Amino acid sequence: MAASPSSLPLQGESESGGLQPPAAEVEYQLLRRNPTSSERQAEPIAEEVPVAMVYNGLSHVVMMASPTDLEDFALGFSLTEGIIESKSELTDFEIQPVGEGIEARIEISSRAFHRLKEHRRALQGRTGCGLCGVESLDQALRELPKLNSEFRVAPAAIHRALDALPALQAVNRITHSLHAAAFCAADGGIVAVREDVGRHNAFDKLIGALARGGIDAGNGFAVITSRCSFEMAQKAISAGIPVLAAVSAPTHLAVKLAASHDLTLLALARADSMKLFAGARRIQP
């Protein structure tokens, strides 16, 4: 039986797993347009570290990410990239600081590791970039199942979630530089929020949190504080999330992917409106 939404921490159980805080106090000099004096101040700045995903001792990819909720990140990334097919194929996990970065040491089943070695990609991950180094178009535009969730939601519930999300972005409130992804119940109540310097990473962390918590991704909707690229739509479909709402615009390829896989896609979500691009059957009048 799937876990109830209340069993999943709204935000990560710890900020960084004891490795590194999500923000650092940094000094700067304030330069005014009409200066009268030099002002030195300090404020929190978001941390960004290289995180190496190492599967069964094999280094697969390095992603620039916020050093928070890394177990969620590893699980979500492994699921949305097709490295594992279910949570049960990830058998062990360890975070290890290495120099200026972090290794996420992930043990996966022999079957999954065999698939990984056969379809391995050589890529260098970057903030906001998830397809760098893909060796073929087949890997980028991989086959995905069509969504079959009968979940429906009213626009008022999506607006409710959008209104509530800023107050739950704990790190972004002090750094103003992180993306967030949230999973929400049918009434707009936010079940979980994950943040990261990279929009893809934030969504992977959220998907990993849902999988770890045993939450049925097909019985809710996701809100992302970024544009909806093809990859964001692809991640939603991979995770079985039937409705995706983005605060910024979608790409044409994202709209086409959503339409062909029955993903309900809303974008340019604002306080008074949003645009429905695909999957109208799930939106209640």
- 10 φ/ψ angles, rounded to the nearest 5 degrees: -60, -45
Pair of tokens at residue 268: 């340019």
Burial (CB count within 10 angstroms: exposed 0-12, middle 13-18, buried 19+), residue 52: middle
Provide the 8-state DSSP code for 217: G
Residue 237 CB neighbour total at 10 angstroms:
22
Residues 15, 169, 45, 27, Cα dihedral to 10°: -110
- List Cβ neighbours of 284 (8 Å cut-off, separation of 6 or more): 152, 153, 154, 155
* Helices 199-213 and 230-239: angle between axes, nearest 10 degrees: 0
Provide the 8-state DSSP code for 47: -
Of 129, 132, 184, 228, which residue is the catalytic one?
129
For every residue of 234-258, DSSP letters joined together read HHHHHHT--EEEESSPBPHHHHHHH
CA distance 205 to 76: 6
**Could you confirm whether 129 is annotated as catalytic?**
yes
- Catalytic residue numbers read 129
